[in-house]
Structure 1
Amino acid sequence: MEDNLKYYKNFPKQKDLEIDFRNIPPILNLDFNALNGILPITNSRLKFITDSGHPPILTVNPSEIEYVYYKSIGVNEFQAISIVFNFFAIEDNPEGSLKGLPYNISLLPMTNKGKIDTWRIELLEQMDVEQLSQEGNLVFTEFNPFQSWKQGMGMDYQIFSNLDYNDYIDTVGFNWGMYFLSPIFDKREIKVLENSTSSKEINAKYRKYKTNLFFKNFSNTEPRRIFGCDSPIELFLLQGMYLKKLTPIIQTNIFKSGDVIANYFEMQDSGIWLGQEQLITQADFYFPDKKLAIFCDGKEFHDLNKDKKINEALNKLDINVLRFTGKDITENLENVLETIQNEYKK
């Protein structure tokens, strides 16, 4: 690993930082803007407001009648959920600020002494929920999205940027915002952003998918990944490819029909639904212009027969395949990158 440290960079000493959203599915960007306030929004919540003589208009700051609703269904506290970004690279913007390129986006519950820390409803009633939801200046040091941040600390970004911080770019988690999650709701009544051109059946499947992703209450303090790399070796290879000016799509689903769809957020944007039974595999990285799929096989004793069948199925779709072991990536990264470059140039 020491020979590969040239692919790492220390966090730069500048103040302003923004997120490069270009490699994130557009529908997920829309979801982020709806992840604030008290969630989820349900038909029962809207009906209670209307039946109480108020217009069914929701703002980030809950109205008094909304708190009455939650108390009426037995809600005493909420989980505070942070939306945390990790970057595999940080670039300089022409205007002097920094731009972070995400390799991971996680949901993280607020914790205290290693346990989930909830917000009492009486406390939340006294707070400016909109200001809390839009708070995006918090930084988690030593954040490991593949496990948990156990040694890190949270601090304001302006303070962090002035510290003599010598650790690496990808070890820092940046809080983009937060929302407050109710422990009681009817999954069938949840309202989420949907594709208006999709069928009711497809939108119902998306609603179920997003409900489990965004609104399932946390039972432990582990981050919940909603987008990005699945393992450290994928991250390491991504950083190497970036320095070679290779920019693949992260985590791409390839189906028996020949459809290649980056993720379920992209599915919703396109208005189609393909179930797991139709999936051939999920490539760790994919170059659509070259129809090139790359897999990082973390275990030395991988299921070779299964890999062979997947390779054959992809080859029938005219998709080329490259596979690398974790040992290849950690000990011979330059050779791995050369192999990818040679295949990409064909």
Structure 2
Amino acid sequence: MISVIASTIAVEQSDGVSTVTPFALSLLPASKRGKVSTVTVDFIAAMAGGDKWREAEPGYACYDPFSGEWGMLRSTRAGRQHGHAFPRRDRDPHRDVFLATTFDPDDVAMFDIGMPTEKLTQKYRRKRMDLMFRPFGRIGCRRIGGTETPIELFLMQELARHGLFGVPPMLVMEDGGLFPSWYHLWQDLEFRDAPGLISEVDLYFADERVAVFCDGAHHRQAKRRAKDEAIDAKLAALGIRAVRVSSTLINSDLGAAAAAVRAALRGD
């Protein structure tokens, strides 16, 4: 059994329904006596037919996707607490699913996602398959999507405090196509340099067409700045405004970093 973990920055209640805004999605396998546990198909059928498991809403008390630490597995129905309004970490039980211990890649359902080139499509599909269908050989969380660095999370939290929620991270294509990115997909240099792709955006606001980049120290280098300017020009040609916020500003004055994004969202 696999738990899908949504680590959130905000939780809202409406008519008894919780709506969460995740900054990361992860998979965590069930374990027993220090090993990944497996069950038979008959067990799954029996469990799916019972009400006790679903009523208990089992889940981990918390999970930090940056450190890989998680809390105790417990029933979350009794006394579930989301803690601070904008927690650094929170585990909301999203869904429990089952993952086959072996699989044939040819059996995995694929569809035409509309990427501009076959190379991009194949690499995107392979990353998706590896993250979502590869069997677990050991206990440990597997990040599948969301923010990849603490500075991105810090900025997301500050913007959320002002009621602003972007989507992290997104891939922007030269033809204007937008696709959710997979965790560490951007580290694949062949994918990153493939024709048809402009860039991966750290945080994207679709309605305002604003792309936010949280730039580390290496973006100060002249060669890197030239590449960033070229990316920004390509985005502008698509009607997307790029906002670059340095890691130094995020760490030293988070309010000012968020203010720069808020100004762009207002169209200033």
Q: TM-score range by the shorter chain?
A: 0.7 to 0.9
Task: Find the aligned partners of 1:126 and 1:92 in 2 and give their Cα distance.
Answer: 33
Q: Note the alpha carbon deviations across 1:235-267, whole angstroms, 9 max, x for none.
A: 221121122233323211123x242413269xx
Identity percentage of aligned residues: 22
Task: Find the aligned partners of 1:219 and 1:123 in 2 and give their Cα distance.
Answer: 22
Name the SS of the counterpart of 1:281 in structure 2: strand
Q: Does 1:263 align with 2:183?
A: no
Asked if the contact 1:294–1:321 (Cα under 8 Å) also holds between the matched residues in 2, the reply is: yes
Asked if the contact 1:142–1:173 (Cα under 8 Å) also holds between the matched residues in 2, the reply is: yes
Aligned to 1:143: 63
Q: How far has the Cα of 1:285 moved from its partner?
A: 1.0
Name the SS of the counterpart of 2:130 in structure 1: helix
Task: Find the aligned partners of 1:211 and 1:343 in 2 and give their Cα distance.
Answer: 36
Asked if the contact 2:36–2:138 (Cα under 8 Å) also holds between the matched residues in 1, the reply is: no
Asked if the contact 1:141–1:171 (Cα under 8 Å) also holds between the matched residues in 2, the reply is: no
5+ residue gaps in structure 1?
1-79, 266-274
Question: Which has the higher Rg, Structure 1 or Structure 2?
Answer: 1
Task: Find the aligned partners of 2:65 and 2:179 in 1 and give their Cα distance.
Answer: 20
Q: How far has the Cα of 1:112 moved from its partner?
A: 4.4
Q: Which amino acid aligns with 2:150?
A: P
Aligned to 2:242: 321
> How many corresponding residue pairs?
247
Asked if the contact 2:181–2:200 (Cα under 8 Å) also holds between the matched residues in 1, the reply is: no
Aligned to 1:182: 100
Q: Note the alpha carbon deviations across 1:60-114, whole angstroms, 9 max, x for none.
A: xxxxxxxxxxxxxxxxxxxx21111122101231x2543222222211112346x
Aligned to 1:153: 72
Cα pair distance change 1:167/1:322, threshold 3 Å: closer
- In the TM superposition, structure 1's runs of 4+ consecutive aligned residues that sit over 3 Å from their partners are 120-127, 129-132, 163-170, 193-198, 204-210, 219-222, 288-291, 299-303
CA root-mean-square deviation: 3.5
2:3 aligned residue (82, 85, 90): 82
5+ residue gaps in structure 2?
183-190
Name the SS of the counterpart of 1:218 in structure 2: coil
Asked if the contact 1:192–1:207 (Cα under 8 Å) also holds between the matched residues in 2, the reply is: no
TM-score w.r.t. the length of structure 2 is 0.75
TM-score w.r.t. the length of structure 1 is 0.60
Matches within 5 A, 1:1-346: 80-93=1-14, 95-112=15-32, 115-121=34-40, 124=43, 127-129=46-48, 135=54, 137-150=57-70, 152-161=71-80, 169-188=87-106, 190-192=107-109, 194=111, 205=122, 208-255=126-173, 257-263=174-180, 276=192, 277-278=194-195, 279-297=197-215, 299-302=216-219, 304=221, 305-318=223-236, 319-345=240-266, 346=268
Cα pair distance change 1:213/1:101, threshold 3 Å: same
Q: Which amino acid aligns with 1:105?
A: L
Asked if the contact 1:138–1:155 (Cα under 8 Å) also holds between the matched residues in 2, the reply is: yes
